[in-house]
Amino acid sequence: MADAFRSSDEFDEQAHQLYNQGRYDEALEVLRDGLAVYPASVELHVGMGYAYLAREDYLWARAAFTRALVLEPNHEDGLAGLGETLARVGDKEGAVKAFDRTLELGFQEDHDLMLQIGRALFREGLLAHAHRFFELAASAEPECEEAAACMGYVSHRLGRDGAAIFWLRRALAIDPTFTEPRIYLANLLYDRGESAAALVHFERTDPEEHFDELGLFRTIELKKTFFRLAEDDGSLRPWYQRVSDLMTDPDPLDELLAEIESVHNDGRVKDPNQLELFGTMLTELQQMQRRPGVRADHHQVVTLGGQNFRGTWDEILDQLKAADRTGPTQSMTEFMRGLALRGKHETGVVIPMTDAEAFIAGAAEAGVLRIIT
């Protein structure tokens, strides 16, 4: 009888706490108790769906989300949960339809919801759709390092390295201690053959911050090459130790699950080169349509700090120089040379200094800024 005096919100809050602790079975028990008292509670049905989803009980999750949406067809969390469940069972068309419904209902400004949906789409390889939702998340909350990092991951997977470098560096500009995008950026630069630039970022990480052997091996290799270290150099010991910690004998069950995870529902093997270092989590940002009356020689760029500049290439270059901390005391040549050197140091990209347009295009390729139009 004590449960009869508890509100549905209290049941939901208790279940939410258990869910966050990974105690999904206990969360389900609390939710069942709550639904026995409040059978029409949409939030409790949605909670059931996410608990089942976490346990990978997809049929039960789908049923729970469906019940919630029968009670409230436009419930955004119910739509997102149903979409994620459908994506997991291979119904990508149904998943996208559910996710798009949240946009039709006007939830573009819900930064957390857009990130959640973007991650679900990214995990299932629906990269163009994931890019769309990550971009909405980044627009809704420009200072969110998670959204910027996710834009970096998806841009790289779409083959747009310049955009990927910009967004990963944007995430680090927001939070320099954010390790995941830094390691991702270092690996991306290594794959591009920019070893010195990769080492710059690997050097800013600690061995304990790595959860994948790849970055560790590459850090050891680059340290030995650039600093001419012997195999048994003491400074490498923590890196070797971290490799040893991670390279334990795999559990047979884990190997079986990994094999299952490597295959799509239709039997196709997933792309082995997929770069998803931490399970974190379109082409270039879609060209914005020019408004009538806007001159064709006007452009817009965004810097790592989130500043927007508009005008001709020469005007934008002047604005970049004026906004730079040391720009006012430098000549234009000195400013361009300094920015080019910083870009080369951190990304390995050579930024041409022949004219404003080439310089800005090179800076975008180096991830120093992003060209919108």
Domain positions in the chain are 299-371
Q: What count of other Cβ atoms lies within 10 Å of the Cβ of residue 230?
A: 8
Per-residue confidence (pLDDT) for residue 278, from 0 to 100: 37
Q: How far apart are CA 137 and CA 78, in angstroms?
A: 19
Amino acid letter for position 169 = R
Per-residue confidence (pLDDT) for residue 3, from 0 to 100: 59
Per-residue confidence (pLDDT) for residue 201, from 0 to 100: 96
Q: How far apart are CA 91 and CA 281, in angstroms?
A: 20
Per-residue confidence (pLDDT) for residue 181, from 0 to 100: 97
Per-residue confidence (pLDDT) for residue 290, from 0 to 100: 33
- The conformation of residue 24, written as its DSSP 8-state character, comes to H
List, in sequence order, the alpha helices (H) in the chain.
8-20, 24-37, 42-54, 58-71, 76-88, 92-104, 111-123, 127-140, 145-157, 161-174, 179-191, 195-202, 213-227, 237-246, 252-261, 313-323, 332-347, 356-365
Per-residue confidence (pLDDT) for residue 249, from 0 to 100: 53
First to last CA, the chain: 64
Per-residue confidence (pLDDT) for residue 258, from 0 to 100: 55
* Averaged pLDDT, groups of 10, the chain, 373 residues long: 76 96 96 96 97 96 98 98 96 97 97 97 96 97 97 96 95 96 96 94 96 94 95 94 81 56 46 39 32 59 88 88 80 87 83 90 87 87
Place of tokens 């690996």: 187
Nearest to 124 by CA among 97, 86, 156: 86
Per-residue confidence (pLDDT) for residue 340, from 0 to 100: 86
Per-residue confidence (pLDDT) for residue 297, from 0 to 100: 63
Per-residue confidence (pLDDT) for residue 372, from 0 to 100: 86
Per-residue confidence (pLDDT) for residue 95, from 0 to 100: 97
